[in-house]
Amino acid sequence: MKFNIAKLPGDGIGPEVVAQAVKVVEAVCKRFGHEVSWQAGLVGACAIDQCGDAYPAATHKICLAADAVLFGAVGDPKYDNNPTAPVRPEQGLLAMRKQLGLFANLRPVETFKTLIGKSPLKAELVDGADFLCVRELTGGMYFGEKGRKDNGDTAYDTCIYSRFEVERILRLAFGYARNRRKHLTVVDKANVLESSRLWRQIAREMEPQFPDVTVDYMFVDNAAMQLIRNPKFFDVLVTENTFGDILTDEASVISGSMGLLASASVGEHTSLFEPIHGSYPQAAGKNIANPLAAILSAAMMFEYAFGLMEEGRAIRTAVAASIDQGVVTEDLADGGKAFSTSEVGDWIANHI
């Protein structure tokens, strides 16, 4: 096959980790006889610096024309403590999600046997945990009406969801559950929030369409507890945008390092693949960041965007081998030898 991939490294450690994912994609293409071309685009703080827009139209054009988008991270500390900044790097990511119609963010949580000891949770709790978080990505508080009133002394963000938005994300989640262990947990705050009551109502209405799937409903505060108390309870977890943002960061500790969690965002146009860890500015340019989440995002790209499971598996096997053989960055090195970002990328590409 021939792929045209948009490459959006973004800010912070984004460029370093995406560079490793690119090496790995090229190695896979070489091994399996595919052809790949890359189109680079700007997003985030680097885009603001160069053209005053966090998601320039030129970047959107590249994404729309691509078969998949490989994305790094956005964010820069110079904006974090400046609440009056007129444009923020994160707006680039949000604009990209909205304009590409990426309404579903898929964040799988898996464990690697050799890393069980890295998790702050007890080994017997995390060993074998394997679930998929499905986070709604283009609705809720992130995109609802927001503003200030009373001379700026009162602020609000509205959590708003339509039936259409809820139904399409639930349908996707039911579908993933059907292809996994057939257990769906709908996470909401239906004891307090009207938007959650709509989610729950729609999920109940849909249950008969998926008779093979066992559905349970969990309040988000309880879900936050169950995720670390009994992560093996979960198979597919579906929730709205803000809850999903928070719960997936929490879930990332289960696998031992945030540097391991990959994600796919899918929807109406080109799908996007990104590590969940963000721009980690303290490590930027040091060649120490863990590239595995970006590399595993490339595996998800082969599987979800191109339907090439064997190619995805080749990446996963190489990643597992690098972990087993201790070719890891300092976050996973456990006092042993720490390899650099590019050394890990080279090793994995070479293994493939």
Residues with active-site annotation: 142, 189, 221, 245, 249
80 vs 216, beta carbon nearer ligand IPM: 80
If one asks whether residue 167 binds Mn ion (CB under 5 A), the answer comes out as: no
> Binders of ligand IPM among 28-87, rule CB under 6 A?
75
Q: Where are the beta strands (DSSP E) in the chain?
A: 2-10, 35-40, 68-73, 104-110, 130-136, 146-149, 154-157, 183-188, 214-219, 236-239, 262-266, 272-275
240 vs 311, beta carbon nearer Mn ion: 240
What is each CA distance from 70 to 91, 179, 211, 264, 282, in whole angstroms?
18, 25, 36, 10, 22
Region of 152 please: left (phi>0), alpha (psi -120 to 50) or beta: left
If one asks whether residue 157 binds ligand IPM (CB under 6 A), the answer comes out as: no
CB of 182 vs ligand IPM, minimal distance in Å: 27
17 vs 276, beta carbon nearer ligand IPM: 276
If one asks whether residue 26 binds ligand IPM (CB under 6 A), the answer comes out as: no
Stretch that binds Mn ion, among 117-125, 141-149, 237-245, 253-261 (CB under 5 A): 237-245
Work out which of 245, 250, 343, 346 binds Mn ion, going by CB under 5 A: 245
CB of 241 vs ligand IPM, minimal distance in Å: 7
If one asks whether residue 250 binds Mn ion (CB under 5 A), the answer comes out as: no
CB of 245 vs Mn ion, minimal distance in Å: 4
CB of 278 vs ligand IPM, minimal distance in Å: 6
- Pick one of ligand IPM, Mn ion, none as the site partner of residue 56 (Cβ within 5 to 8 A by kind): none
Nearest to 296 by CA among 281, 278, 274: 274
Amino acid identity, position 288: I
Q: Where are the beta strands (DSSP E) in 194-306?
A: 214-219, 236-239, 262-266, 272-275
Work out which of 90, 235, 303, 331 binds ligand IPM, going by CB under 6 A: 90
If one asks whether residue 93 binds ligand IPM (CB under 6 A), the answer comes out as: yes
DSSP lists the bridge partners of residue 120 as: none
Rounded to 5°, the CA angle 311-41-88 comes to 115
The count of chain residues that interact with ligand IPM, using the rule CB under 6 A, is 6
If one asks whether residue 207 binds Mn ion (CB under 5 A), the answer comes out as: no
Helix (H) or strand (E) holding 278: none
89 vs 312, beta carbon nearer ligand IPM: 89
> Side-chain half-sphere of 274: how many Cα atoms within 13 Å?
28
Rounded to 5°, the CA angle 104-273-79 comes to 90
> Binders of ligand IPM among 265-284, rule CB under 6 A?
276, 278
Give the residues lining the site for Mn ion (CB under 5 A): 245
